[in-house]
Amino acid sequence: MSDHAIRVDELVKKYGPVVAVDRINFSVAPGELVGFLGPNGAGKSTTMRILTTFMPATSGIAQVCGHDVMENPMAVRQNIGYLPESVPLYPEMRVEEYLLYRAKLKGVDRTNRRKRLEESLEKCRVKEVRRRLLGTLSKGYRQRIGLADAMLADPKVLILDEPTSGLDPIQIRETLAAIKSFAGSHTVLLSTHILSEVEAICDRVIIINRGSIWWDGRLSSLASEIPTLVMDLTGPEPAISDWFKKVAGTRPANIIPGEEGIVRCEVEQSAGDDLRETLAKQAVERGFGLRRLDIRRKNLDTLYSEVVLRRSAS
Ligand SMILES: Nc1ncnc2c1ncn2[C@@H]1O[C@H](COP(=O)(O)OP(=O)(O)OP(=O)(O)O)[C@@H](O)[C@H]1O
Ligand SMILES: [Mg+2]
């Protein structure tokens, strides 16, 4: 048995000429709650569809709880709960009836079905709609029935493709709480575009862009990253640029000409080496207009922009 809950090795998926996933590697340990981030078309849903056996890979390995998705898809399915991007539901079935039917399909034995149903309804806060027809539910409720379905058989691994998309703010909070409470004893891989959700509940983040993994790390590691000093100046750009690079010396620096004649200057701010006073004084002496001067600590938002924007440009 593998000690990974999820393992992806040199995974490739091509749709005709389109390379949606391009030799990606990552693994997720049991009990981890991982946010899977990336812009539209990055390859998140494709990776999740392969991991959940809904689509074959072009090459490479994908495993869940030590079972290969190609060699042993039934064992993989028994270990996962999957919330796809758009939840297919039978409109003419009632919520309770549907979930009991799903529990049966998932092999939950008869004596446990009711109990599992009640737990899922409770966790996903959908008790009040248990007797409603699926076809009459609002988008947010349909989404949460999909989540209840994913958690129904108490799977070891949950794979959730944008579980909060289309939910109202209160529902989002409740859904995140449900996911968080499910994690710990379980493993969760979830995709989302809302960075604050990831900051609220995930331990670790994987950023995928154009089919490749660009960042994979713990959120807590961001706190120890070197902050950036950001200075917005007005004045002739060549003069600002020459001067700023001189002051920055060997520290990595960036000059970014912006709108309304503002030139943004950025430099790494290492510990015990505060350049703010020097920069402010010299900028004024040189006649530049000072519009902003502060220290930007790295958070998920700055990391994401850095990874996705800078590397898209390269
Ligand atoms: N069935 C398909 N046939 C052809 N191309 C596809 C298919 N599904 C996805 N793609 C392409 O594969 C790439 C990755 O798509 P994917 O749906 O995995 O992205 P995503 O990261 O989930 O994006 P989003 O944030 O928009 O959901 C895109 O270029 C997409 O157009
Ligand atoms: Mg997607």
- Report pLDDT digits (tens) over 254-294: 899 888 889 999 998 877 778 899 999 999 999 999 999 99
Return the DSSP state at 268: E
What pLDDT is recorded for position 298?
84
DSSP β-bridge partners for residue 51:
none
CA of residue 15 to ligand 1 center, whole Å = 9
- Ion ligand 2: residues, CB < 5 A: 44-45
What pLDDT is recorded for position 311?
60
Query: Which stretch of 40-49, 154-163, 272-281 has the lowest confidence by average pLDDT?
Result: 272-281
- The ligand that comes nearest to the alpha carbon of residue 39 is 1
Task: Give 214-218's long-range contacts (Cβ < 8 A, gap of 24+).
Answer: 214/307, 214/308, 214/311, 215/303, 215/307, 216/26
CB 246 within 8 A of CB 214: no
For residue 42 and ligand 1, the question of a CB distance below 6 A is answered with yes
Atom 29 of ligand 1: nearest residue by CA position: 41
Taking CA 116 as the corner, what is the angle to CA 63 and CA 163, rounded to the nearest 5 degrees? 55
Instruction: Spell out the alpha helix ranges (H) of the chain.
Output: 44-51, 73-79, 95-105, 110-123, 139-151, 169-182, 195-201, 237-248, 276-285, 300-305, 311-313
CA of residue 45 to ligand 1 center, whole Å = 7
Asked if the domains at 6-218 and 226-297 fall in one CATH topology, the answer is no
Residue 211 has pLDDT above 90, yes or no: yes
CA of residue 43 to ligand 1 center, whole Å = 6
What pLDDT is recorded for position 314?
53
Return the DSSP state at 127: G
Give Cα separations from 194 to 22, 149, 216, 295 (angstroms): 24, 23, 17, 24
What pLDDT is recorded for position 313?
57
pLDDT in tens, 161-198: 999 998 999 989 989 998 998 887 899 999 999 999 99
Which residue ranges make up each domain of the chain? 6-218, 226-297
For residue 58 and ligand 1, the question of a CB distance below 6 A is answered with no
For residue 250 and ligand 1, the question of a CB distance below 6 A is answered with no
What pLDDT is recorded for position 88?
80
pTM: 0.85
Determine the average pLDDT of the residues in 245-258: 88
Q: Given CA atoms 119, 120, 122, 127 in this order, what sign does their dihedral have?
A: negative
What pLDDT is recorded for position 66?
95
What pLDDT is recorded for position 222?
83
**Pick from 87, 101, 187: nearest CA to 137:** 87
Q: How would residue 312 be classed by pLDDT, with cut points 50, 70 and 90?
A: low
Out of 14, 15, 213, mutate this one to test ligand 1's pocket (max ligand atoms within 8 Å of CB): namely 15
What pLDDT is recorded for position 33?
96
Atom 7 of ligand 1: nearest residue by CA position: 15
For residue 24 and ligand 1, the question of a CB distance below 6 A is answered with no
Mean of per-residue pLDDT scores for the chain: 92
- What does DSSP say about strands 262-268 and 228-234: parallel, antiparallel, or unpaired? antiparallel
Determine the average pLDDT of the residues in 52-67: 96
pLDDT in tens, 10-26: 999 999 999 999 999 99
Architecture of domain 226-297: 2-Layer Sandwich (3.30)
Output the CATH code of domain 6-218: 3.40.50.300
Determine the average pLDDT of the residues in 132-136: 94
**Pick from 55, 119, 62: nearest CA to 85:** 55
CA of residue 38 to ligand 2 center, whole Å = 9
Determine the average pLDDT of the residues in 229-238: 94
Residue 113 has pLDDT above 60, yes or no: yes
Residue 162 CA: nearest ligand 1 atom is: 27
What pLDDT is recorded for position 309?
83
What pLDDT is recorded for position 49?
97
